[in-house]
Amino acid sequence: MPTSQALGQAEVEVMLDQIGDVGAALQRADPAKLEELYRSLGLEMTYRSAERLVEVTAQPRVVSERVRGGTCALTTRLALRVR
């Protein structure tokens, strides 16, 4: 099994910059398609108001007849900034 690695804030920001304005794309998206996407990713978001933090967990399903093994959840935290 591969070991999991935590990503730093700078790494996440670089990754987001590479894929463009995600927020604008999500605003234009069809809500039904977004729901389908989030469900297929096993996306869960928990907002912790006291910490002003959103914890995101994704558990995408792998559809394959030949690959078997453990599952691994991807979890990240995003600290919200007040503007």
Read off the pLDDT of residues 12-66 as tens digits, 9 standing for 90 and up. Answer: 888 877 777 777 888 888 999 888 888 888 888 899 999 888 888 888 776 655 5
Tokens representing 75 are 């979890």
In angstroms, the CA 31 to CA 21 distance is 18
Q: What tokens does 4 get?
A: 């999991």
DSSP β-bridge partners for residue 79: 53
> What average pLDDT score do residues 57-82 get?
64
Tokens of 21: 């304005």
| 75 and 49 Cβ atoms separated by less than 8 Å | no
pTM (global) more than 0.85: no
Checking if the pLDDT of 73 tops 70, the result is no
